[in-house]
Amino acid sequence: MLTVQFLLLAAVLFCIGVYGVIARKNAVMVLMSIELILNAVNLNLLAFSARLGSIDGNTFALYVIAVAAAEVGVGLAMVLLIYRNRRSIALDELSEMKG
Amino acid sequence: MPTAETSHAAAHSAGWFLENAWIIPIVPAVAFALIIFFGKRLPMKGSELGVASMISSLVLSAGAAWQWMNRVDDASGGAVKELSRVAKAEGGYGAPYVEPIVREWTWWQSGGMEFGIGQHIDGLAITLLFVVAFISTLVQVYSLEYLRGDRRYTHFFAALTLFSAGMLSMVLAPNMVQLILGWEIMGLCSFMLIGHWWEDQANARAAMKAFFTVRVGDVGLLVGTGILFFSANSWTQANLGVSGFNISGLSAWAMSGEAGKSALTWGAVALFVACIGKSGQFPLHTWLPDAMAGPTPVSSLLHSSTMVVAGVFLVARLYPVFWEGLGITENTVNFIVVIGGVTIVIAALLAFVQHDIKKVLAYSTVSQLGYMMMGLGAGAWLPAVFHIFTHAFFKACLFLSAGSVSHSGSHHSFDMKKDMGGLAKKMPITATTWIISTLALAGVFPLAGFFSKDEIIDNVGHNGYQVFMIIGLGGAFLTAAYMTRATYLTFFGEARGAAAGEHHAGEHHADQHDSHDIHDAHDAHDAHDSHDSHGAHGPHESPKLITIPLVILAVLAVFAGLANATPFGSNWERFKKYVEPSAAYVAIEETLATGPGEAIVVVGAESGEGEEATAGCSFEVPEAGKACYFPAVSHAKFKWSKGLLSLAIVAAGLVSSWLFCVQYYTRRNRRLVGLTERNALLRGGYRFLWNKYYLDALYEKVIVRAIAHPISRGAYWINQNVLDGIVNSAGRISRRVAGWVYRNIDQRVVDGAVNGSGAAARGTGGALRPVQSGKVNQYGALLFAAAAIGALVLVIINT
Amino acid sequence: MVGADLLVAQNIGFGIIAVLMVVGALRVVTVNNVVHAALWLVVVLSGAAAQYLLLSAEFVAITQVLVYVGAVMVLFLFGTMLTRARIGAESDLNNKNWALGIPVALLLLGVISWVLIDGFGDDRLPDPDEMGQVPVQVLSDDIFGPYLLPFWALSFVLLIAVIGAIVLARKD
Are C79 and A47 within 8 A, CB to CB? no
| B98 within some domain | no
Peptide bond into C126 cis (omega under 30): no
Task: Calculate the dihedral angle through the C-alpha atoms of B624, B629, B631, B635, rounding to the nearest 10 degrees.
Answer: -140
Are C139 and A59 within 8 A, CB to CB? yes
Q: Which chain A residue has its CA at the smallest distance from B782's CA? A: A22
**Residue pair B103/B46 in contact by the 8 Å Cβ criterion:** no
> Among partner residues C83, C126, C154, which is closest to A67 by beta-carbon distance?
C154
- Is B774 in CB contact (< 8 Å) with chain A? yes
pLDDT for B93: 41
Are C108 and B778 within 8 A, CB to CB? no
> Among partner residues A18, A23, A95, which is closest to B775 by beta-carbon distance?
A95
> Among partner residues A94, A96, A99, which is closest to B769 by beta-carbon distance?
A99
Q: Which chain B residue has its CA at the smallest distance from C101's CA? A: B781
pLDDT for B617: 67
- Coil vs helix vs strand at A39: helix
> Among partner residues C34, C116, C134, which is closest to A55 by beta-carbon distance?
C134
3-state secondary structure string across C103-140 = HHHHHHHHHHHHHHHHHHCCCECCCCCCCCCCCHHHHH
- Is A79 in CB contact (< 8 Å) with chain B? no
pLDDT for B109: 85
Greater confidence, B79 or C25? Answer: C25
- The rounded distance, in Å, linking the Cα atoms of B358 and B361 is 5
> Which residues in B lie closer than 8 A to residue C108 (C-beta atoms)?
784, 787-788, 791
Chain B nearest-CA distance from C54, in A, is 30
DSSP B439-457: HHHHT-TTSHHHHHHHHHH
pLDDT for B618: 65
Sign of CA dihedral B102, B108, B112, B115: negative
- Is B772 in CB contact (< 8 Å) with chain A? yes
Q: Is B549 exposed, middle or buried (0-12, 13-18, 19+ CB in 10 A)?
A: buried
Residue type, B280: G
Chain B nearest-CA distance from A40, in A, is 15
> Among partner residues C97, C112, C115, which is closest to B778 by beta-carbon distance?
C97
| B722 within some domain | yes
Chain B nearest-CA distance from C118, in A, is 10
- The rounded distance, in Å, linking the Cα atoms of A42 and B648 is 166
Chain B nearest-CA distance from A22, in A, is 5
Strands (E), B489-580: none
Q: Which domains does chain C have, with CATH numbers?
A: 1-87 (1.20.120.1200)
Domain that holds residue B740: 699-772
pTM: 0.65
For residue range C87-106, list pLDDT tens digits in order.
Answer: 455 566 676 777 888 888 99
**Residue pair C21/C44 in contact by the 8 Å Cβ criterion:** yes
> Among partner residues A22, A67, A91, which is closest to C104 by beta-carbon distance?
A22
| B408 within some domain | no
A contact residues 2-31, partner B, Cβ 8 Å cutoff: 18, 21-25, 30
Are B788 and C108 within 8 A, CB to CB? yes
**Residue pair B318/B183 in contact by the 8 Å Cβ criterion:** no
pLDDT for C66: 94
- Name the nearest CA neighbour of B580 among B620, B607, B619, B560: B607
**Low pLDDT (below 70) residues in chain B:** 1-13, 76-96, 329, 501-537, 584-585, 587-620, 668-673, 675-676
Q: Which residues contact B707 (CB under 8 A, 6 or more apart)?
A: none
What are the C-alpha distances in Å from A87 to residues A22, A80, A84? 22, 10, 6
Alpha helix positions (H), chain C:
2-30, 34-54, 58-63, 73-83, 98-120, 136-143, 148-169
Are C107 and B785 within 8 A, CB to CB? yes
Chain C nearest-CA distance from B791, in A, is 7
| Total structural domains within chain B | 1
- Is B666 in CB contact (< 8 Å) with chain C? no
Chain center to CA of B33: 22
CATH architecture of the domain A3-92 equals Orthogonal Bundle (1.10)
Are C94 and A24 within 8 A, CB to CB? yes
> Which residues in B lie closer than 8 A to residue C116 (C-beta atoms)?
none
pLDDT-derived band at A96 (thresholds 50, 70, 90) equals: confident
pLDDT over 70 at A64, yes or no: yes
> Among partner residues B777, B784, B788, which is closest to C95 by beta-carbon distance?
B777
- Name the nearest CA neighbour of B110 among B245, B223, B232, B247: B245
Chain center to CA of B137: 19
- The rounded distance, in Å, linking the Cα atoms of B475 and B367 is 8
Mutate to test the interface with A, among B769, B777, B778, B795 (most CBs of A within 10 A): B777
pLDDT for B114: 81
Q: Which chain A residue has its CA at the smallest distance from C128's CA? A: A1
Element (H, E) at B107: strand B101-110
Chain C nearest-CA distance from B747, in A, is 44
Q: Counting one residue from A and one from C, how many pairs have CB atoms under 8 Å apart? A: 248
- Angle subtended at Cα B353 by Cα B349 and Cα B356, rounded to the nearest 5 degrees: 120
3-state secondary structure string across B306-331 = CHHHHHHHHHHHCHHHHHHHCCCCCC
> Among partner residues B769, B775, B784, which is closest to A91 by beta-carbon distance?
B775
Are B772 and A21 within 8 A, CB to CB? no
- Is B37 in CB contact (< 8 Å) with chain A? no
Q: Which chain C residue has its CA at the smallest distance from A62's CA? A: C60
For residue range B459-468, list pLDDT tens digits in order.
Answer: 888 888 888 9
